[in-house]
Amino acid sequence: MAIRESFHSQLDLVKDHLLEMGTRVEDVIDQMIQAFASSDTRHMERIIQDDYLINQLEVGMHDQVTRLISRQQPVATDLRKLIVALKISSDLERVADLVVDIAKQSKRMKKDSLLPYQVKIVAMFTIAQEMIHKSLLSYKKTDLMLAQKIAAMDDKVDSLYGELIRELFKLNEDHIEIDQITQLAFIGRYIERIADYATNLAEWVVYEVNGKHFDLN
């Protein structure tokens, strides 16, 4: 019994560590939104330089989970919890990488090119940020109802991304340099991918509970 209680304590610790990683990713997203809205390239550079910290958290989570699996050989629900922890940590690390990609593209933007599109891009980014937060909250509380609401938010991001791309297609070099249009399109695409990963997180919550993969898209 004591061994089993120790194992479940370690499972709780895995969840706590994963939520700490999630908080870190949320913080990086918030920093990037603020940097983008203010065209603060120095802040963007710090985000790029600090990316290794989240990479280290993901590696640590992988090591922690694989040690538990090898030593305890869990089955059924307990094994699913550990698999989900691995999947979520991997998705969070990719979200952080996308934020870095956004920072790199944004640094290349000229402020006069960026200004007309800041509102729409920040709106997209804010929804994606909320999706990440709610997905992590659904994981923390094992809240399937909350997890299933994420898809509707993803539709909003997709719609804004579509509007952005249509606007960019109407532009030519008389309005804005082609390379600036390209950078804007990449930024929009990266935010859309963050929203997709938020949906993935919610899907892993559903899988952890019922053991079945469910496509929320």
Specify if 215 maps to a domain. Answer: no
Cβ-count burial of 83 within 10 angstroms (0-12 exposed, 13-18 middle, 19+ buried)?
middle
Tell whether 110 is covered by a domain: yes
Name the domain count of the chain.
1
Rounded CA separation 154/139 (Å): 18
- Given a cut of 90, whether residue 97 has pLDDT beyond it is yes
* Domain membership flag for residue 89: yes
Query: The domain spanning residue 56 has which CATH number?
Result: 1.20.58.220
Q: Quick one: pLDDT at residue 24?
A: 97
Residue 216 lies in a domain: no
Helix pair 41-49, 76-107: axis angle to 10 deg: 140
Average pLDDT over residues 160-177: 83
Q: Estimate to the nearest angstrom the gap between the alpha carbon of 4 and the chain centroid.
A: 33
Identify whether 167 is part of a domain. yes
Convert the pLDDT of each residue in 181-203 to its tens digit. 889 999 999 999 999 999 999 99
Alpha helices for the chain (secondary structure H): 2-38, 41-49, 51-72, 76-107, 111-114, 118-141, 144-148, 150-169, 178-210
In a domain, 17, yes or no: yes
Average pLDDT over all residues of the chain: 91
Q: Which residue range(s) make up the domain with 155?
A: 2-210
**Tokens representing residue 171 in the block:** 């532009």
Instruction: Record the pTM.
Output: 0.93
* 164 domain-assigned: yes
- Residue 217 resides in a domain: no
